[in-house]
Amino acid sequence: MHRNLLLLSNSTNAGEEYLGWPRPYIDNFLRKFSVRSVLFIPYAGVNLSTESVLSSYNVYEERVRGIFTGFGVELVSIHHSSDPRAAVKKAECIVVGGGNTFHLLKLMHETGIMHSIKEQVRQGTPYIGWSAGANIACPTMKTTNDMPIAEPESFNCLDLVPFQINPHYLDANPQGHAGETREQRILEFLAVNRNSIVVGLREGCLFWIEGGKIELKGNRNLRVFRHSQSPAEYEEGAALDFLMKE
């Protein structure tokens, strides 16, 4: 399987411009694969200030297009296409934005692009995803942080990597908070899905994946969870190829 993936925990760090911190990585990734145009998947976007979900997609498209224009790359959103699966097959690069993972997954299954994207990316089409867009690169969406505002036909995702990502991973347990921490939620998942590996991808970090090689990039460590084992921390430059073993 020949995969070229850029999987980001988040789009924007607090106090920064939209897609500010990952711009150098995205630019380098696009240049590496000589990408001149991208197909954007906006289905995770649910904008509270717009009149309809379709309007949300238009707003999202314009916001992301403004960033990619700065890379010298054309961006077109899939929601304008009368044949989404055909659009995927023609795409030079596929970009999946963040937002609500349940809503994203529902639309990807309904339009039939889940299988199409999986097929194209496994053949080498570059893929960029942040937050929900990184989550759906996993076997399932079961390690999302989102509320189920929509009901997808399945939790099964693209299965481009053999492990699970928890985007926006937080170590904090806020004072006065009596609910479960993020770590406890992940351990609950592993108690039921014991053969899985979950990576807590902290904000400001990403995975750069080519083929079977995976690199952590960013200014924070990665946290790896396995059932019945203590969580392990890995820094940028650490050997992580074990995560790609099927």
Residues forming the active site: 131, 146, 168
* CB 204 within 8 Å of CB 25: no
What would the two tokens of residue 120 be? 């194209």
Q: What is the DSSP string of 183-210?
A: HHHHHHHHHHSTT-EEEEE-TTEEEEEE
Question: Among candidates 13, 4, 2, 1, which has minimal Cα distance to 202?
Answer: 13
Q: What is the DSSP letter of 244?
A: G
**What distance, in Å, lies between the first and last C-alpha atoms of the chain?**
11
- Helix (H, G, I), strand (E, B), or coil: what is residue 87? helix
The distance of Cα 221 from the centroid of its chain, to the nearest Å, equals 18
The distance of Cα 201 from the centroid of its chain, to the nearest Å, equals 11
14/226 Cα distance (integer angstroms): 30
In this structure, is the dihedral angle defined by the CA atoms of residues 224, 229, 231 and 233, taken in order, positive or negative? Answer: negative
- Residue given tokens 């904000």 in the structure block: 203
Burial of 226 (0-12, 13-18, 19+ CB in 10 A): middle
